[in-house]
A and B are shown apart, each in its own frame.
Chain A
Amino acid sequence: MKLHCFQRAFFHSSPSLIPVQLPAPMETHLWYMKPSEVKSESLLKEYLDILSPCERKNVLQMGGEELRKSALLARALVRTTIARYQINSEITPRSLKFRKNIHGKPEVEWQYSDDWHPPSLHFNISHTSSLVACGVTVNSQIGIDVEEKHRSIKHNVLSFARRYFSEHEVQFLAAISDPQVQRMEFIKLWTLKEAYVKALGKGFSGAPFKTFTIRSKSVPEEGFNKLEGSSLKASEIVVDSFDNPTVLTSNWQFLLLELANSHYAAICTEKHGASEGDRNVPVKLTVWKTIPFLEDECVSGTDAVKTICGL
């Protein structure tokens, strides 16, 4: 389903964005862009135009064209994405204001009026030089992290893991004999850990990497998944925290995806209404590939989005 936005005005009035409904509870939206696909100078200027003066300054300070571009696209993506949800008629990509919470996590600063209460929209961005992503939820904290699948790690993976990861995670990685596979599992684990810390929103010191373990846990499935007597098990990703009691860490659920054949993407969101022992309510994920103001493509269910774990 490819939607082309031909409504882009020739006059430089506000270029249009295809509106989208807010995600439902337990639903996550993921929007991503590939900087290499944005070549038009005029489009980049439109993006620069919707940024705040402070954001513009930060973008232009980045060292190098590639870094500037991905920084620009990250801001343009978050502004256009939130504006799409048409929270109210006043909101445009340019009018949105952002601030940081007390721990430094970015959030929208809604312009209140007496008779209007903003929705509990949460977002989180992550970017590499080759992909920029924004996740959106309603009523749920969210953290996302994207990394290139083939990212090189300068250090020995196990040295790195011993230094920064938990013992369980080190053992998991040490058990992998193929160095390529080991490196890729390391990167997946890194994105999951980053996504968790970002979802918590307390900054790195709120949850140092060594203080929690992320691992895959088999979940027995009933019904049609039990084919021909074999116990086909789904697995879910769980987090065990050493500092917090388990009742808190069962509040978080994870998705791990391969995005656009080039990146690992980890999404961590808050679970609501689940108590210990409850079956996991499956999370619905909708993914769009976008070039804001130009084209959007819903890529859920296509090759661009491959679930590794969690859906």
Chain B
Amino acid sequence: MASLTASSLSFSSVSCSFKPNQVSNLRKASLSFSGKGFPSHRMPALRFRVACAAKPETVNKVVEIVKKQLALPEDRDVNGESKFATLGADSLDTVEIVMGLEEEFGISVEEESAQSITTVQEAADMIEKLLEKK
């Protein structure tokens, strides 16, 4: 997991507080690297879209819950970019997934937010945002 400090990034108009080794406070819009424009030898392990990505542990937990809800085989590739709809989740599955996330992380998700998440990454980001508010 890459840890980014303020000195190695420049961004504009972002108000955030930095906790060491945590990037999840950053506003999504102001920080997105596709990873392709970045020569990999300059920044280690920056392969994925940073965009204040949730911790991998969070993403992995979401993946686990999604796989369980949709009864997907263990070896099926599900990652941050996976869309629920593409994995075969209908609205009832999505709501069940959100319930599973609420139970796992001890959070409470508003109905409107629950229906608006469409990818694993969005779910993970939402979880981290809610965890912070606690």
Please give the residue numbers on chain A whose beta carbons come within 8 Å of chain B beta carbons, in ascending order: 61-64, 66-67, 128-129, 147, 151, 153-155, 159-160, 163-164, 190, 194, 203-205, 208-210
Contact = CB atoms under 8 A, between A and B. Distances in A.
Interface in B70-98: 76, 82, 86-88, 90-92, 95-96
Contacts, number: 49
Contacts of A208: 111-112
Contacts of A129: 88
Chain B contact patch, size range: 10 to 19
A210 B95 CA distance: 13
A64 B72 CA distance: 10
Contact of A155 (B76, B88, B99, B116): B99
B112 A63 contact: no
Contacts of B32: none
Q: Is the interface of B mostly helix, strand, loop or mixed?
A: helix
Contacts of A154: 68-69, 96, 100
Contacts of B111: 164, 204-205, 208-210
A124 to B, nearest CB: 14
Nearest to A62: B86
A163 B107 CA distance: 13
B115 interface: yes
Interface in B95-118: 95-96, 99-100, 102, 111-112, 115-116
A55 B116 CA distance: 21
A61 B100 CA distance: 26
Contacts of A61: 86
20 contacts: A62-B86, A63-B76, A63-B86, A63-B88, A64-B88, A66-B88, A67-B86, A129-B88, A147-B92, A153-B92, A154-B68, A154-B69, A154-B96, A155-B100, A159-B99, A160-B95, A160-B96, A163-B99, A205-B116, A208-B111
